[in-house]
Structure 1
């Protein structure tokens, strides 16, 4: 498969993502303090890094079906590691959310049931990204779990950013556009695949 010339491959992607997002959070807290403002900034920043990593895994297969390029080949080859990197980023996000609740003495809203369900899904998807748990779950079960999880997160990100559009169009509209384009890409690739099979 083409795309091996990219320097980051496999677990290096996860390590790089963990280091980069962790450093970003540390810098935010260093310059803005470990208080409500700092926690909210870390929450927003890690939500964005999680979204970008998620989108890389979300479009990998569809993009490669439509345009076989070194970049799409790299995304397809490493989508597992992009997904795990998204889980790492969202772990930082959970830490920041917990930190917000702590620094506000519980005044900040606690996690909603859908948010908690999302973390359960993310945990299950991460665990089954490894060979032995994936084999135990089975091919059909794996496909159902990961398809459900990917669409759940896509919808969750889209809803969250769309809801915030009136407050900051400039900040959130690019993310909404990227999410919509990603779904359109998957739909076009799926339709093309069905036409080829037919």
Structure 2
């Protein structure tokens, strides 16, 4: 439990987001519509923790960064739990409203869930050994893709006055996380160059 708490947090936040939507919204359609929004939002911080865990350690060597890195897998699994609840809320919202999504949303959103579940089900030592070098490739591409899905979703809503209050800070957080990863990658590259030249 000491290390796995992000998984439980993911489940509790996802369910709390649905409860909050039902407590604050009127009408079943609107309740499920907002539940889909809220469940996506509560999972986002868990993804960001997993996204920046190792780069933060490389950049800061702080105890907090090491604490996050030690639980990176569980932050990822917590996000998977929260986002599964989001998927259920989203499907229900589509069903009760009768309003479908565009083909682009289904294709790219479906790919995100496929990647998410591949990563979740291979987050163990046995899968890591069986997949070899492919394990790191799959997880690296996967987490970048999941980051991108959130980034483009929130960045695309910044101009909407009704959604800007959430879209702008979440976009900034996504960009800051990407900056952390890029900075860590750049510094690692510079160290390798210096070692090769010495």
TM-score above 0.5, yes or no: yes
141, 150, 157: which one aligns with 2:134: 141
- State whether residues 17 and 89 of structure 1, in contact with CA within 8 Å, keep that contact through their aligned partners in structure 2: yes
Structure 2 CA distance for aligned equivalents of residues 173 and 129 of structure 1: 32
Task: Compute the displacement of 1:33 (Å).
Answer: 5.7
Are residue 112 (structure 1) and residue 106 (structure 2) matched?
Answer: yes
Structure 1 CA distance for aligned equivalents of residues 86 and 27 of structure 2: 14
Aligned residues: 189
Which runs of no fewer than 5 residues in structure 2 stay unpaired?
A: 194-198
Which runs of no fewer than 5 residues in structure 1 stay unpaired?
A: 1-7
RMSD of aligned alpha carbons: 1.7
Are residue 54 (structure 1) and residue 47 (structure 2) matched?
Answer: yes
3-state DSSP of counterpart to 1:164: coil
Alignment of 1:163-182 (within 5 A): 163-167=156-160, 168-182=163-177
TM-score norm. by structure 2 comes to: 0.88
- State whether residues 100 and 108 of structure 1, in contact with CA within 8 Å, keep that contact through their aligned partners in structure 2: no
Structure 1 stretches of at least 4 aligned residues deviating more than 3 Å after TM superposition: none
Structure 2 CA distance for aligned equivalents of residues 121 and 169 of structure 1: 28
3-state DSSP of counterpart to 2:156: helix
Are residue 123 (structure 1) and residue 117 (structure 2) matched?
Answer: yes
Structure 1 CA distance for aligned equivalents of residues 91 and 27 of structure 2: 12
Structure 1 CA distance for aligned equivalents of residues 9 and 159 of structure 2: 34
- State whether residues 164 and 172 of structure 1, in contact with CA within 8 Å, keep that contact through their aligned partners in structure 2: yes
Task: Compute the displacement of 1:12 (Å).
Answer: 2.2
